[in-house]
Amino acid sequence: MKQTFIIDHLRTLIISMITCLFFISMACNSPDDSKNATKSEQDHSQHEAEDHSMHGHDGEISGEQSQIYTCSMHPQVRNEAPGRCPICGMDLIPVADETSVEDSTETEVENGDQIGINGKIQISTNSPTSSNLKEVTHNHTPASNSLNSGAMLSRAFASQSSIVLAEVTWSDALIEQTVPGKVMVSKDGIRVQTAHVSGRIEELYVREDGEFIQAGEPIASIYSPELISAQKELLEAYKQRIESPDLYEAAKTRLKNWEITDAQIHDIVQSDKVLNQIDVMADYSGYLDQKRVEVGEYVNPGSALLKIIDLSTVLISLDASALQSPWIQLGDRVKIDSDLSIDAKNHVLDGIVEFISPVVHPTRQTTEIRTEVDNTYKSLRPGMLVEARITSQFSEEPVRVIPSSSVLWTGESSLVYAAHEMNNSWHFTLKRVSIGPRFGDQVTVLSGLEIGELIVKNGAFKIDAVSQLSGNMSMMSSNGTDGHLSHH
């Protein structure tokens, strides 16, 4: 009984202690809660004051906002300072503020740049950006081929982009193309030395291929019964030349028909002896390419003795690609484009197109173009690889040209950012153009641009990147050829 009483007493004591601790805890927390409530009310009032100070009565932003930078390839990257994309390493570009953009109005940014909302980028001429642009007075109205695309472009972006403009200009319809090729022996330069009389080759004076042969020099000696008989007739006629001069002239003419020279005839007459072997003289100058006869062989009139190549004129065989050959015509000027274009004698190596193959090479898919070049000083040798510049006139009238860097190639079409001045601002509009031949750093414009119209020469990709990041039309959203862009 006594034990039960003690247990009940302890239970009551424990409950009392727990109750006291609870009230003590409540009392301690109440001041903190009131302090937190008071702090929340103060913070709320401070935010309202800040919002009121940043906005005017009409809701326009009056304070400066920090510039946000992003990657043109990875728009999810956002940074408050310039730098490089952590994914691809490309330079980050500024992103225009979109807090007050509307579809049918213009937003005037505090730095002075005006940014068109309806698919145009406008840069105020009062902005430092204008120092990077060419000063012009043109005011071109966008043509019907203008595509409603563009982006918001901040003053900071324009100054960093260094946008350069160029005009559409007239140019002579000349296209210069570099075509590879090789040096070959001209067909007219291949000569074959033949025998003029029957006989046996007793000796050859030329032995190595490539050895130079001078016309009129002896190349071989021949034993010929016909020549021996003709020499005897000559000596007899010489003794009777006073009484029968015609007989003497006939004897000399017979030997000359076998290409025996006057000097050889003179030696025979002066020596008064018949020569068993007579030298065969070269009919052509050039380099020995091939021996067609050996010592001890019998030959007849017309038998080939030597093959000689003349390199005073060489053939240049060029391989024009499928894109080059349509513009090349017979008579076009050709200049060898190498260190040998002007040789040691200051002799220009050039020619004209003399032959265009009507067929395409089955494996290389190229068209052969031939020209002959004067090679008097032997600067070019067969087998050499060369490059030639062919200048062609593809139109009788001047053509419109623009820098190649201006064109945005999309595969299906070609796009250009045109610039025109309006309301003291520069407007950049995406246009679809038809491009013709390309030569050097310029391309011809068949349609889509007019003479004097301004276009973006450098910086078109940056402008297009801003267009894409801003959700406006760009070269990436172009499809079809009907002059419209589609949203994706």
In this predicted model, what pLDDT tens digit does every residue of 425-472 receive, in sequence order?
667 788 899 988 777 688 889 889 999 999 989 888 877 877 777 666
**209 and 273 together in one domain:** yes
Judged by DSSP in three states, 225 sits in: helix
Determine, yes or no, domain membership for 92.
Answer: no
**142 and 159 together in one domain:** yes
The confidence score (pLDDT) of residue 81 equals: 87
DSSP state, residue 397: S
The confidence score (pLDDT) of residue 34 equals: 46
> Is the pLDDT score of 40 beyond 60?
no
**295 and 207 together in one domain:** yes
The confidence score (pLDDT) of residue 22 equals: 57
Mean pLDDT of the chain: 75
Which burial class, exposed, middle or buried, applies to 80 when counting CB atoms under 10 A from its CB (0-12, 13-18, 19+)? exposed
**285 and 266 together in one domain:** yes
Return the percentage of the chain with pLDDT > 90, whole number. Answer: 38
**358 and 375 together in one domain:** yes
Record the tokens describing residue 210, joined without a space: 């490539």
Determine, yes or no, domain membership for 89.
Answer: no
**408 and 385 together in one domain:** no
Last-in-domain residue among 377, 393, 409: 393
Last-in-domain residue among 393, 418, 436: 393
Domain of 349, CATH number, reads: 2.40.30.170
**214 and 131 together in one domain:** no
Last-in-domain residue among 350, 373, 393: 393
Determine, yes or no, domain membership for 126.
Answer: yes
The confidence score (pLDDT) of residue 118 equals: 34
Determine, yes or no, domain membership for 329.
Answer: yes
Determine, yes or no, domain membership for 229.
Answer: yes
**125 and 161 together in one domain:** yes
pLDDT digits (tens, 9 = 90+) for 134-165: 333 333 444 455 555 454 454 455 556 677 88
Determine, yes or no, domain membership for 80.
Answer: no
Which uninterrupted H or E stretch holds 207?
none
**249 and 220 together in one domain:** yes
Task: State residue 372 phi and psi, 5-degree precision.
Answer: -105, 140
**321 and 183 together in one domain:** yes
> Is the pLDDT score of 29 beyond 80?
no
> Is the pLDDT score of 351 beyond 80?
yes
Q: Report residue 478's pLDDT band, with 50, 70 and 90 as the boundaries.
A: low
Domains: count for the chain: 4
Determine, yes or no, domain membership for 288.
Answer: yes
pLDDT digits (tens, 9 = 90+) for 372-405: 999 888 888 999 999 999 998 877 888 899 999 9
The confidence score (pLDDT) of residue 175 equals: 81
Tell me the mean pLDDT in the region 292-301.
Answer: 94
Indicate whether this model's pTM tops 0.75.
Answer: no
Q: Report residue 277's pLDDT band, with 50, 70 and 90 as the boundaries.
A: very high
Tell me the mean pLDDT in the region 239-252.
Answer: 90
| Domain extent at residue 282 | 196-302
The confidence score (pLDDT) of residue 345 equals: 55
pLDDT digits (tens, 9 = 90+) for 92-121: 888 755 443 333 333 333 333 333 333 344
**181 and 137 together in one domain:** no
Separation CA 288–CA 378 (nearest Å): 15
Determine, yes or no, domain membership for 224.
Answer: yes
Task: Kindly report the number of other CB atoms within 10 A of residue 346's CB atom.
Answer: 7
**385 and 402 together in one domain:** no
Task: Kindly report the number of other CB atoms within 10 A of residue 197's CB atom.
Answer: 20
